[in-house]
Amino acid sequence: MIFTEKTITLKDGRNCILKPPVPEKAEEMISYLKQIAGETQFMSRYPDEIRKEAEDERAFLNRTLEDPKAVMIVAEADGKVVGSCSVFSNQEKRKIRHRCSMGIGLLEEYCEQGLGTAMLNMLIEMAKQMGYELMELIVVADNTRAQGLYRKCGFIESGRYYHGMKFDDGSYHDEILMYKEL
């Protein structure tokens, strides 16, 4: 899904542009994804698991732009990718196609600036426009900051995956399932 970009002002006064992904910036997107995966333990992938080939990332971004049931919002500040969020269809099965899954990530320096809230609220509105009725997500139980954002935007806990994530050091971490009726 393609949409019109929007400029927001963060709490610290910096401007940030929320816009569709640009496939020609695939290398920059890969760098951003690797950086964010290295900054926090709460992402589902380690930096070395991030897609390495620019052409693969470019193809993924193009598919996302062309998919009427998916959307990705990229946040840029000073011409640099600093955050992203997306919605994807869960299934083609008729019984559950009213549901969508979402994910969001911000570089650490852009957390607590209102960017996550702005991105998630925009994503929720777009999901409604695409006809979704239920948005769901999974968050690591230790990630209280993200849980606060989700609750502020109306998500509620619906269950847990005990030991849903296992880190390289062998430690396990529960995952919380959350949803929001749209």
Question: In the block, which residue shows the tokens 């991105």?
Answer: 119
Q: What is the pLDDT along the chain (182 residues), one digit of tens a residue?
A: 789 999 999 999 999 999 999 999 999 999 999 999 999 999 999 999 997 789 999 999 999 999 999 999 999 999 999 999 999 997 778 899 999 999 999 999 999 999 999 999 999 999 999 999 999 999 999 999 999 999 999 999 999 999 999 999 999 999 999 999 99
Which strands form 172-181's sheet, in the order they lie side by side? 6-9, 15-19, 71-77, 80-89, 99-106, 134-140, 172-181, 156-166
How far apart, in whole angstroms, are the C-alpha atoms of residue 93 and residue 74? 29
Domains (ranges, CATH) in the chain?
A: 6-136 (3.40.630.30)
Report residue 8 CA to chain centroid gap.
18
How far apart, in whole angstroms, are the C-alpha atoms of residue 90 and residue 101? 6
* pTM over cut 0.75: yes
